[in-house]
Homo-oligomer: A and B are copies of this chain.
Amino acid sequence: MILILKTTASQPEVDAIMARIEEAGCQVHPIVGQDRTVIGVIGDGTSIDRFQIGRMPGVEKVVPITKPYKSASREFKPEDTQFDVGGVMIGGKDLVVMAGPCSVEGRSHMVEIAHACKEAGATILRGGAFKPRTSPYAFQGLGEEGLRYLAEAREATGMPIVTEVMEPDLVPLVADYADILQIGARNMQNYPLLNAAGKSMKPVLLKRGMTATMNEWLLAAEYILQHKNHQVMMCERGIRTFVTETRNTFDINAIPILKQLCHLPVIADPSHGTGKSEYVAAVSKASVAAGADGLILEVHQEPDQAWSDGRQSLKPEAFGKLVSEMRAIAQAVGRDIPEPERQAEIRDIVMSGS
């Protein structure tokens, strides 16, 4: 931590600041410049609250040096985190493609769209049973009934499932059905929920909050990781900006930043990142080129009949075409999205090996 003092700081103020640092068991390194003094603090920074010390008379600004997230950082663990979910390896050379409808709408609908997604190249099935909706008057999801339909679709296709959980109490129920717990953007800083997801020891897909900085997002992951649950995926789904042409602004920069700062797999969500189906393909391909470890995409047989988010859903044929295009780009950057026919084979290898 570095303290930049005011040009007007008095000697008693400087002395008080240095005394406070030393009381906390840290060492003080003052640098006396022409106009002002700067104090370097060496030692266990966690013993000094930077906001507290920033309030002491004479302090202009506090510059933190150590990254506040620990377990998530590359410095803590240099190599990429990889883990398998029901036979699908995440964070490895092969990209993972998660697909399915925004909401679970019924048993046969779910099984049918699951088969269509699998044939088109998906390896993980998505679908919402509990839906966070801006309006209390909008469809709120089928609840446990939806979870059962997801489980049936998994049985029918062999694909693991990812679905959202919205409150700590429901984590055990959702974890009973799902292979991956999704924490939505609105809940990225719902700390009781993060703790519950951490304790469940289930893989977690952690969506970025609409306005989350990298620091905040990685600290949210840290809430999960502190429970020794290391199976966390960071999902970029767009941020809120002044732009109105798209529902969100997909932050493509976040992909290389995350790959640099942390060791967790990075998943792109171009459906929410654009909010309009006609832009999903371009941004999906961009995400693969930028180094994402996977994608999550909304697919629906009849988007204009979807119970939610039809505006950003792809039809199965468009999704299949996109998977082929993404495969070509994945190969161009030294990675792959295996053909559907090879997926079962890979699954057996992963399952036997893990």
Asked if B192 contacts A166 (CB within 8 A), the reply is yes
Q: Which residues of B contact A33 (CB under 8 A)?
A: 40, 42, 65
A196 (CB) vs chain B CBs: closest residue:
B167
- Interface size, chain A (Cβ < 8 Å): 106
Chain B nearest Cβ from A249, distance in angstroms? 6
Asked if A287 contacts B285 (CB within 8 A), the reply is no
Complex: A63 Cα to B65 Cα, angstroms = 11
Q: Which residues of B contact A288 (CB under 8 A)?
A: 289
Q: Which residues of B contact A65 (CB under 8 A)?
A: 4, 33, 36, 38
Asked if A210 contacts B213 (CB within 8 A), the reply is no
From A87-95, A110-118, A236-244, A343-351, the one touching the partner chain is A236-244
Asked if A354 is at the interface (CB within 8 A of a chain B CB), the reply is: no
Asked if A18 is at the interface (CB within 8 A of a chain B CB), the reply is: no
Asked if A278 is at the interface (CB within 8 A of a chain B CB), the reply is: yes
Complex: A192 Cα to B196 Cα, angstroms = 15
Asked if B189 contacts A2 (CB within 8 A), the reply is no
Asked if A52 is at the interface (CB within 8 A of a chain B CB), the reply is: yes
Asked if A85 is at the interface (CB within 8 A of a chain B CB), the reply is: no
Chain B nearest Cβ from A68, distance in angstroms? 5
Extra contacts, 11 of them, besides A2-B2, A136-B222, A239-B249 (Cβ < 8 A), are A29-B29, A31-B40, A52-B307, A135-B222, A137-B222, A167-B167, A211-B242, A213-B244, A256-B281, A257-B279, A286-B286
A interface with B by C-beta (< 8 Å): 2, 4, 7, 29, 31-36, 38, 40, 42-43, 46, 49, 51-57, 63, 65-66, 68-70, 75, 132-137, 166-169, 186-187, 189-193, 210-211, 213-216, 219, 222-223, 226, 239-246, 249-253, 255-257, 259-260, 273-274, 277-279, 281-283, 285-291, 303-311, 313, 325, 328-329, 331-333
